[in-house]
Every structure is written in C-alpha cells, then in structure tokens.
Amino acid sequence: MRRDVSLFSILNFWIIRTLVSVRVSVRASVRALVMTLVFGLSIASVSAEPLKVGEIAPDFTINQIDNTSFKLSEFKGKQSVYLVFWNTWCGHCMKKVPQLMSIEREFGEQVKLLAINTSWSDSLAEISQFQIRFEANYAIAFDDDADITHRYGVMGTPTGFLIDINGVIRQVDGIPHTLAANIEQWNQVSDSEYKPVKLAGAVCDKDSVC
C-alpha cells in the first residue's frame, strides 16, 4: 500500500512539474509574440522613407545618457558622425558592441560615434545598465518617443548611418569597414554642391552613388 502511495506521489509530482513547464513555455511564447507585435507595429508606424547614401542627414537634437546634449548640425565642418540605431534585446546589436568600442578607440578623434536606442521595448534604465555592464566607451542616447528613429526611416536594428563632415550620408547599414580607407576623404570640408565620390574598394556603375 505504501509503495502504491509512493508511486502515486512520484507520478503526481511529474504531472504537476510537466504542467508547470508547459505553462511557463506558453507564457514565454505569448511574451515573445507580444514583443513581435509591438515591434511590428513600431515599424509599421514609420512614415519616413529609409534614408539613402548621398542624401543630407536630417538635423536633430537628443540628450545622451550622461546628461549632455547632442546636436547633429554642430558637427558639420568639424568631423564626421557615425549614428547606430540599436536595442538591448537585439542579438546582432550586441555582437557589434566590440566593433563599436574599437571604432571609438581608433577613430574617436575623427568620427563622433553615437548609439541611439530606438526605445522599441527598451527603457532608459535598461540602456544605462547596458553601458555599465559592457563598459561601453562610446556615447549612447535614448530616443524616448522614437521620433529620430522614424525620421531616419529605421526599419530594424542595428542600422548605421555614416555622415561625413558636410552632413551627407556616405554609408548606410552595418559597420563601415571602409572607415580607415575613407575617413580622410569624409572629413574634407566642401564648399561646393555635394558630388558622389567613389569609396576606396567600392565597385560602382555610372548611375550609382557609393
């Protein structure tokens, strides 16, 4: 009799454990679905077309998490700017962190690097914790109303914009691997109307801007 009760107890334990696991799994799936829907709605609400190489970068002002202000136009005529839109939950964004830190160390005097959190399913507290945890050496800002994110037509993260010293977008997306080869060119002040210049190592046809 005791053996039967023991077996019943063990069986009952495993049934309850299985049900709890299923419940947790369902909750996790629902949370992932909700985040996907929220993220999708955020993307759907983007009214601006994605910016392209050769266009003038829209000016904006944003507060960095160290309580200093960043205004894009203040860098015109001084140095190039590299904007990276990102999120803490974005796996690809996290993989780029070492590269961004390397860019800041190597090119910090020539390029202003600013990582703008889109605020999609993120909070100011989370990005502050991120900076502390990863000891990020570059500037970070929180686009709390996603206004700048929308104006730049960002459809996903990470998305990067390399803006030259004249305020012209020279590269979009990814890490600019041609940075070392082209930074001198990007930091040349031009008084004339912008004309596309072929980047070192780039392959362009007569109708393309690269």
**pLDDT per residue over 138-175, tens digit each?**
999 999 999 999 999 999 999 999 999 999 999 998 67
The residues, ordered by sequence, that sit 6+ positions from 167 with a Cβ below 8 Å of its Cβ are 56, 57, 72, 73, 76
Question: What is the per-residue pLDDT across 65-117, written as a single tens digit (0 to 9) for each?
Answer: 999 999 999 999 999 999 999 999 999 999 999 999 999 999 999 999 999 99
Residue 97 main-chain phi, psi, to 5 deg: -55, -50
Q: Are 172 and 53 in contact (CB under 8 A)?
A: yes
- Do 16 and 88 sit in the same domain of this protein? no
Residue with the larger pLDDT of the pair 9 and 2: 9
Give the span between the Cα atoms of 206 and 114, in whole angstroms.
33
Tally of structural domains, the chain: 2
By CB neighbour count within 10 A (0-12 exposed, 13-18 middle, 19+ buried), where does 175 fall?
middle
Q: Which of 25, 140, 133 is nearest to 87 (CA)?
A: 140
In a domain, residue 96? The reply is yes
CATH of the domain at 172: 3.40.30.10
In a domain, residue 197? The reply is no
Structural domain boundaries enclosing 15: 1-44
The number of residues in the chain equals 210
- Do 31 and 91 sit in the same domain of this protein? no
Residue 191 confidence (pLDDT):
64
